[in-house]
Structure 1
Amino acid sequence: MTTGSPAAAHDADAPVDVVCLGESMVTFVPTRPGRLADVPAFARTIGGAESNVACALAAAGHRTRWVSRVGADGFGDHLIEAIGSYGVDVRAVRRDPERPTGVYFRTADDRAADGHEVLYYRAGSAASAMAPANVPRRDLWAGRILHLSGITAALSEDCLALMSDLMARPSPDHRPSPSRSAAPLLGGPGRPLVSFDVNHRPGLWRDAVGPRVLLELARGADLVFVGEDEAEAAWGLRGADAIRAALPEPEVLVVKRGAAGATVFAREDGAAGAMGAGCHAPSPRVDVVAPVGAGDAFAAGFLSATLRGLAVRDRIRHGHLMAAAVLTVPGDLTQPPARAHADRLVALDDTAWGRLRLGPGWTGDDQEVRTR
């Protein structure tokens, strides 16, 4: 994908659309399938839910900032340079001289496949030391949206304290304006709209409190993303309606249903309004190359459309298209479709949308989009 110089691209005083807080790690992916014990070589890439969202949004033309901590080591250099090359503002990333940058190894197959292996080397990482005292609020409150995920809360007690502090629910007078408004507004004086992707990762939690903590954090957010499958695994909730009943607080709740699409609940009249009926939009058919990174890409597409003040159905469809762009390439990140190209597809009627079939190369303006 085409990248530029982040130092030249960012004006320190210019407004930011989305700030993303979280750990990114150097990722080592096998050069061929097989057990980690048998793979002879690995390719280096980057991984991090929040930085993935920041990169995808920057590639889509939005001003984004990544806030984190990395080690004062070569892997930290690589992360800052790689993420910055997408056009993300990385000046708020702090270097820790005493703790290393996190790394992880994974097998080359689908994360849901039998035998899939992931080895994290992130205990005691620089990012795990993030805390309310060392992450300046001015860096986080600088955008229209602050995007967070449940992964950060699982890294350490300090990270959980930071997340709890950021997601403390403000007074009713400082809640965001209705989600159906033309554009998202601040949640209160100096407080952005808080977006939270649950991202339940059972292996990261040191005890059984993870699901309860994630539910409490989600209740403090303005916009929540959660997979239908992870809601059942974490909270025993089945179906979008049950998830909304357990999470009435967020103005917008996005329930991701994989290949079945997504359902979004939006509060009708702000904090005092009733919960609106769910708006469902199916996913287009996708010829999947690699099933990784789709959740982060979906969040980026939905947030991009939210920043543009689009209707709820169109926000969902933009999320699906951004996810399809990633699903049709080998890695977690790719160049998204041009905005005009995506808008043309989003504007299709339900019948034409249902016939879409997206395969490798579909994001190019000169590519013919297939129908079933």
Structure 2
Amino acid sequence: MTQGPASVEFQQVVKRYGAFTAVKDVSFTIEPGTLVTLLGPSGCGKTTTLRLIAGLEMASAGRILIGGQDVTRLSAAERGVSMVFQSYALFPHMSVLENAAYGPLVSGIDKAKAEAMAAEKLRLMGLSGLEARLPSELSGGQQQRVAVARALVLEPTVLLFDEPLSNLDAKLRRRVREDIRELQQSLKLTVVYVTHDQQEALAVSDRIIVMSNAEIAQSGSPRDLYERPANLFVADFIGDANLLDAEVTPLDEARAEVRLGNVVLELPRRGLPAGKARIAARPEALLLSSTAPAGPALQGVIRKAAYLGTHMEYTVTTPQGDVFIVDPQVGRPLAIGSDAWIGFSGGGVTLVPAPMAEPKV
């Protein structure tokens, strides 16, 4: 296969295990040199999709193309892809250098050249000086970097990550995900990345493919998915969202008047007819106050309050249901049981076009 970043294309791909369908009629295209995340809850089909790209599973129907070449029936070794596993899968009895050089060695490259190739990729990952150590002598973040270096040694056309940060603590996850993104951009790699962590997906991706029940629920940029979710499942899964009942009155083809209790908003219509609908309101888009504001606002009572250092989190009971709010004002927290009013900022509120069944977990 041609070296350099390659495209990945699924054409109506299906994967069945007996009567169970793990991937159902999935089609997408990943452009060369981009990082695309497969995101979704457990059992949605994202890891099976990644394994289909890798050649660790064979499609029951449809076609898989890498770099324009049909690889549907090719083995994993013939596809020019490398995978970084959730467990890292490092050999505990081998040094860092030996782990990184393993791929070239088993492919027939002589030891001196294989170790030179491995040393260069270890340097790229900031691991120079650690070549003689065993995996057990490294931190979790360093082990993860060794796994990435090993995957890069054979210069794959596509690099695959399966939940690569799940074994790391929160602070280290943020640093390593930034490293992965920087590496991908500097080397112009095609990366397919699997996670169930929405923040991780938003932080690293050029594009996100959200999966539910073995199908694609929505595909788009992080901003598209967060600000313009295609359905209730995506609205609720990508970040936090308050899903509230509303009444829609179309104003024209593009805009609609949306009534939520005594609050009237003008929002993009998103193709909805007149009648009942639901809006997704992001917690950070809601304005909380202890006194009635001049404009329309939902009135409620503070039911829960939590201090998280940089912000407060509140649950407010209203006639429209419980509303979750993230408030940056930490100096004067509102007391549980006190009256509160919820206003709406200029963004972070959208009509949700269509219902979608909850995923089976």
Q: Is the pair's TM-score, using the shorter chain for normalization, greater than 0.5?
A: no
**Higher normalized contact order (CA 8 Å, seq sep 6+, divided by chain length):** 2
Task: Identify, as 1 or 2, the structure richer in strand.
Answer: 2
Task: Identify, as 1 or 2, the structure richer in helix.
Answer: 1
